[in-house]
Structure 1
């Protein structure tokens, strides 16, 4: 009995050819696609059982009675329900989205506890100051305890650091170091708590059972009772949301077909629908039209936050120069304190305006009117500082002249 003998021979042959091609493509894709669950994949995901995966740590916490789950949805949803009983693990995260940074700050500000690892993990956490180490060591380093807290008493810890921490904030306590560079840092932020590792080596499958690496993980997470633990997977790949259910190969094929159809329509009608004579050269735009076009370009690009950032940077450099301080990256609170020490009679709204400007320069969706208002505030404060500086110089000159007159000739 032939396969589907009821079909026409030509249809049956077409069906067999289609099935053969589909099976061949599936086998080819299976051989060509790389195996993500091997020792070459450096991602510490809880789904991977390779050397650098974190599946062993996740399952150990589950068996240890920890109320833990994977988080694959946008971080904004987690930040909306976070509280003092929330603990989030960010193992080697990677993101450049402003919403993710704000969500992590909101989690910590509400009393949550965050463990972040790696270079990008140091940028993700609030008040993070991670940097590249001076010397890269590709071998495991036995960390040296530095602090006096419980975290520094975890025991012998091994790590392959890929980042370091810029020391300078007294509230940020170094618990472990490698070759004199910070490797484990702990500090409080508002109502929450933050722990940073220089890399995720201690929680990886290949290093979890070495020495006291697992004890370091447990001490970094804090007490188990009454807390809900989340292991973030949203910053390891695609963020899961409601739109993921309508995406997939079907949507990709649909878009590809629409693009190909548009190209066919273009090539079919463009030659016959083109102009029969040369178009006259366009008139040269006036300066006003050029400015309007340039303004429309900046408006479509959403460059309002860029304008605020430029104004903030100019004001920061000018204020630090007036205060006699070196040019360094300081926050709005630190800059306001320095200006207040140098000019005690500065405007009372200085601190609030600088804080508003610092927040606005990170807001990519700020309205142009709001950005213009903030830039005008910075300009007003700069004029006031310039006038105060001139008055201070004049008073100093008068004092020096009087002292010269009162000196007796020798």
Structure 2
């Protein structure tokens, strides 16, 4: 049983082609699109479970009873409702928008607490003074506690610093250092508080369980009671707003699919409802082509005797009509006798030729050449009878036909 046998063959073929193209596109997209959830992706996102992702830290905070959620909308919306109970985590953020800098400043100024990591995290926080490290080797470093605040008592902390801090503000206190360079800095700004890390290594999946890295994260966030924690994801890529999903790959693929479906609908509809035109008239075959086709038909069917029978019937009817007799089946002898009575001067071989024709039409194995010869003989006798009937004189032989024609006008 064929697949969807109720459909027209052309429609079924079109459907199969469409399904094949859709499956091929899905496979190609799956192979071409990069896999972001692997160990090569350095982004500390809470959605990633690779080595540098932060999914483990986020889920650990959720299980520990922290009132935490991901923030994927513009920071202006968060800053509008920020207060002393607001804590925001910026893990390796990246932005150059002035609105984002102002939003973070408003959060801290309204009493919120901010944890930022990395070089760009230092630029994001108010009064930030990040710098490029000169003595760091970008290898795992055991941080040395340098401060007197509770944050410096977190314990043994490991980090791969990729930035440093330019000291100069007395309010900014270094809590941990690496190779003499600041690695963890905290300070007050307005009514809020800022904590900066040189890298997000302590909160990444691959380093969270090492030494006291998780304790450093908890101490950087501060007390849990009475606070709402936000893990920012808006600065890890596109800012999530009402229209931020429009340029995404899903919507792009949807529009591509709609375009392809529209094209298929146009082709399918136009094939049935296109302009109606009359079919071109079939080319009429020439007499020679008709005879060749008829001969090939008889040859393939082995019906040479049939051709002889057709020629015999046509000759019989024509001869009986010339003799003034009614149309009835007669034998070759009877037909020859009737013709001889009407036309005494007929060809002397008439009787023998008619007998041979009668035998030929009853012979189903007659050769085509022999059948053709018999048909030619019948055609010859028919011409002779037609010439004799035009003279109207049955007593004169055919040789006097020309003289008779010359005498008739007189």
SS of corresponding position for 2:243: helix
Higher CA-based Rg: 2
SS at match of 2:215: helix
Q: 5+ unaligned residues in a row in structure 2: which ranges?
A: 261-410
Task: Trace 1:4-403 onto structure 2 (pairs within 5 A).
Answer: 4-244=4-244, 248-249=251-252, 253=256
Distance 1:224 1:246, change over 3 A: same
> Mind listing any 5+ residue stretches in structure 1 that lack a counterpart?
258-410
Cα distance in 1 between the residues matched to 2:103 and 2:258: 33
User: Which is worse superposed, 238-247 or 192-201?
Assistant: 238-247
For 2:114 and 2:245, the matched residues in 1 are separated by 30
Q: Structure 1 CA distance, aligned partners of 2:67 and 2:163?
A: 30
Residue 136 of structure 1: CA displacement? 3.9
Contact between 2:238 and 2:244, CA under 8 Å: does it hold in 1? no
Q: For the Cα contact (< 8 Å) 2:122–2:196, is it kept in 1?
A: yes
Report the CA distance between 1:5 and its aligned residue. Answer: 2.4
Q: Deviations over 1:26-68 (max 9, x none)?
A: 1122122221111111000001111101011001101111000
Measured against aligned partners, the alpha-carbon deviations of 1:121-178 in whole angstroms (never above 9, x if no partner) come to 0000000110111134131000011110000111110000000000111010000000
Distance 1:251 1:129, change over 3 A: farther
Structure 2 residue matching 1:243: 3-state secondary structure: coil
Structure 1's consecutive aligned runs of 4 or more residues displaced over 4 angstroms after TM superposition are 250-257
Distance 1:210 1:109, change over 3 A: same
Distance in 2 separating the partners of 1:19 and 1:147 = 65
**TM-score, normalization by structure 1:** 0.60
Change (3 A) 1:136 1:147: closer
1:246 offset after TM fit, Å?
5.1
Deviation at 1:254, TM superposition (A): 10
User: Separation in 2 of the partners of 1:80 and 1:240?
Assistant: 17
For the aligned residue pairs, the C-alpha RMSD in angstroms reads 1.9
- The 1:251/1:103 distance shift into structure 2, 3 A limit, reads farther
Secondary structure in structure 2 of the residue aligned to 1:51: coil
Q: 1-side partners of 2:259 and 2:131: how far apart?
A: 42
Cα distance in structure 1, aligned partners of 2:40 and 2:46: 16
TM-score with structure 2 length normalisation?
Answer: 0.60
**Separation in 2, partners of 1:245, 1:182:** 39
